[in-house]
Amino acid sequence: MADMKSMMTKTGIKDVAIKCRNCGRSANASEFVLDYKSKMMVCPLCIKERNLRENVYKEINAKKQNFLMTKEAARQKVDETKKNIPGWDKDDEMLEKMYKFKMDNSVRVQRIDEQTVKYRCPSCSYVFKINTVTKNPSKCQFCGAPISKFR
């Protein structure tokens, strides 16, 4: 009962419950605060809510800023990657060309039977048969270029 009594005194004569013009809730007159934004007296709950909202906004804005910065960083990274890609392309192209060049100039043999292959001379492109056992002939029958190693 003592608690009840003290509460009664607290909310007694001094604190007249008035209705908040902002939210319509009733609160003690002494607890009303002038809201600098709406320029009117509002209840503590309104202030609390406003502060909360402002904090949330701040948090959201901070997150947004963070996100935008991350996005910007990511974009810059992509740009950097893009800048690097042409170089890679060139290298790839060059490797491809080199590979093709090598392939074109490599000795291509076509196995006919266990000891005979069809050999294409890398110098003159003359195609002839070679006996892989006797290794005959040992040079191109057309231009005389030595037979390159083959498998």
Residues in contact with Zn ion by CB under 5 A are 20, 22-23, 42-43, 46, 121, 123-124, 126, 140, 142-143, 145
Residue closer to Zn ion, measured from CB, 42 or 130 = 42
Residue closer to Zn ion, measured from CB, 119 or 132 = 119
- Vertex 110 angle, CA 106 and 111, to 5°: 135
Residue closer to Zn ion, measured from CB, 30 or 81 = 30
Shortest Å distance, C-beta 125 to Zn ion: 7
Residue 148: count other Cβ atoms within 10 Å of its Cβ. 14
Shortest Å distance, C-beta 43 to Zn ion: 3
State the amino acid at position 105 in one-letter form: N
Shortest Å distance, C-beta 6 to Zn ion: 25
Residue 49: count other Cβ atoms within 10 Å of its Cβ. 14
Using DSSP's 3-state secondary structure scheme, residue 66 falls into helix
Provide the sign of the torsion angle of the four alpha carbons 14, 52, 36, 40, taken in this order: negative
- C-alpha–C-alpha distance, residues 75 and 63, integer Å: 18
Residue closer to Zn ion, measured from CB, 78 or 143 = 143
Shortest Å distance, C-beta 54 to Zn ion: 15
